[in-house]
Structure 1
C-alpha cells in the first residue's frame, strides 16, 4: 500500500531534498568534486539546517543499499528516484557517491562559503517567499488580473499574513546584501517566477527596491482612533 506522508518523510524526506536540487541540473558528480547541484544543496543546508546533513547521508546511503524493485515502486511503497539523466544501472553507484560527498563534507568540515545562488533549486530554497510573491502575483497572467504592478503588490499585502509579508521584506534585504549587478537581479526574478517585465522605467533591481520600500510603509489604520492623554 502507498506510504503515508509521515512514513515518506521519515524514510525519504531529506533524500527528496537532495534529489530535488538536481532538477534541471546535470548529475555530473565525480569522486573528486560534487556537482553544482550537490554543492548548492550543501551550501544552503549547512547555513540553514546543518543537522539535516547527517539525515541526508543516512537516507541516501540506505536507499542505495536497498534499491526497490519495480513492483514495490508501482505500489507506491518506495520513493521513486526522479530522472537525473543517468542510466538505470548507474543510479546506485551515483547515490553512493552522493552519500560519500555528504559524509566527507560533515566529517571534514568542508562547508561551501556563502555565495549567490547558482541553481534554480537554490534560489527557491533561499528565497521561498519571494518565489511565492513573484510566481504567484507576477506570472504571465498578471496583466489580465491587475491594472498595474502596484495593484498586484497591494493585493499581495492585503491577502497575505503580515508575518509572511515581513518575511518577504527580510528576503529582499538579504538579496540586496549580495550586492548584485542588474544582470543577476534579472536572473533572480526570472528564477523566482516573475514572467512580466518591471514597470517602466525600472530595472529589475530598481523595481525590487521599490517593492521593498512599499513593504516598509506602515499599514493604514481605519476607524476611530483612541484619543491621546491630555
Structure 2
C-alpha cells in the first residue's frame, strides 16, 4: 500500500529535499568533486539545518543499498528518485558517491564557502518569500493585471499576512546587502520568477530598495495600540 506522509518523511524526507536541489542540474558528482547541485545543497543546509545532513547521508546510503523494484515503486511503497539522466545502475553508484560527499562534509567539517546562490533551487531556498512575491505578482501578465509596479506591491501587501510581508522585507534587505552587481541581480530576479523589467528609470537594485521601503511601512490596523 502507498506510504503515509509520516512514513515518507521518516524514511525519505531529507532525500527528497536533496533531490529537489538537482532539478535542472546535472548529476555529475565524482568521487573527487561534488556537483554544483550538491554544493548548493550543502552550503544552504549547513547554514539553515546542519543537523539534517547526517539524516540525509543515512537516507541516501540506505536507498542506494536497497533500491526498490519497479513494482513497489508503482504501488507507491517507495520514494521514486527523479530522473537525473543516469541509468538504473548508474543511479545506485551515483547515490553512493553523493552519500560519501555528505559524510565527508559532516565528519571533516568541510563546509562550502558562503557565496551567492548558484542554482535555481538555491535561489528559492535562500529567498522563499521573495520568490513567492516576484513569481506571483511580477510575471509577464503583471502589466495586464496592474496599472503599475507599485499597484502590484500594494496588492501583495493587502493579500499577504503581515508576518510574510516582514519576511519579504528581510529577504529584500539581505539581497541588497550582498552587494551584487546589477547583472547578477537581474539574473537572480529572473531565477526567482520576475518576468518584467523594473519601472524606468530605476535599476534593479534601486527598485528593490524602493520595494523594501514600501513593504516596511506600517499598515493601519497593525502594531501596538495607541495611548
What is the rounded CA distance, in whole Å, between the counterparts of 2:206 and 2:177 in structure 1? 14
5 Å-filtered alignment, 1:207-222, equals 207-220=207-220
Q: Which residue of 1 aligns with 2:83?
A: 83
| 8 Å Cα contact 2:176-2:208 kept in structure 1 | no
Q: Which residue of 2 aligns with 1:171?
A: 171
Q: Which residue of 2 aligns with 1:152?
A: 152
What is the rounded CA distance, in whole Å, between the counterparts of 1:149 and 1:42 in structure 2? 36
Q: Which residue of 1 aligns with 2:18?
A: 18
Cα distance, 1:141 vs structure 2: 1.7
Q: Which residue of 2 aligns with 1:31?
A: 31
User: In the superposition, relative to structure 1, how do residues 200 and 102 fare at CA in structure 2: closer, same or farther (>3 Å)?
Assistant: same
What is the rounded CA distance, in whole Å, between the counterparts of 2:221 and 2:29 in structure 1? 55
- Residues 25-63 of structure 1: CA deviation (Å, up to 9, x unaligned): 111111111001000000000010000001100000010
TM-score by length of 2: 0.96
What is the rounded CA distance, in whole Å, between the counterparts of 1:70 and 1:148 in structure 2? 52
What is the rounded CA distance, in whole Å, between the counterparts of 2:76 and 2:163 in structure 1? 37
5 Å-filtered alignment, 1:1-230, equals 1-220=1-220
TM-score by length of 1: 0.94
- Residues 152-196 of structure 1: CA deviation (Å, up to 9, x unaligned): 100111111101100011111111121000001101110001111
Cα distance, 1:113 vs structure 2: 1.6
- Residues 72-119 of structure 1: CA deviation (Å, up to 9, x unaligned): 111111111111111222000000110000000000000112110000
What is the rounded CA distance, in whole Å, between the counterparts of 1:104 and 1:147 in structure 2? 53
Cα distance, 1:216 vs structure 2: 1.8
Across the aligned residues of Structure 1 and Structure 2, the Cα RMSD in angstroms comes to: 1.4
SS of the residue corresponding to residue 116 of structure 1 reads coil
Cα distance, 1:221 vs structure 2: 5.2
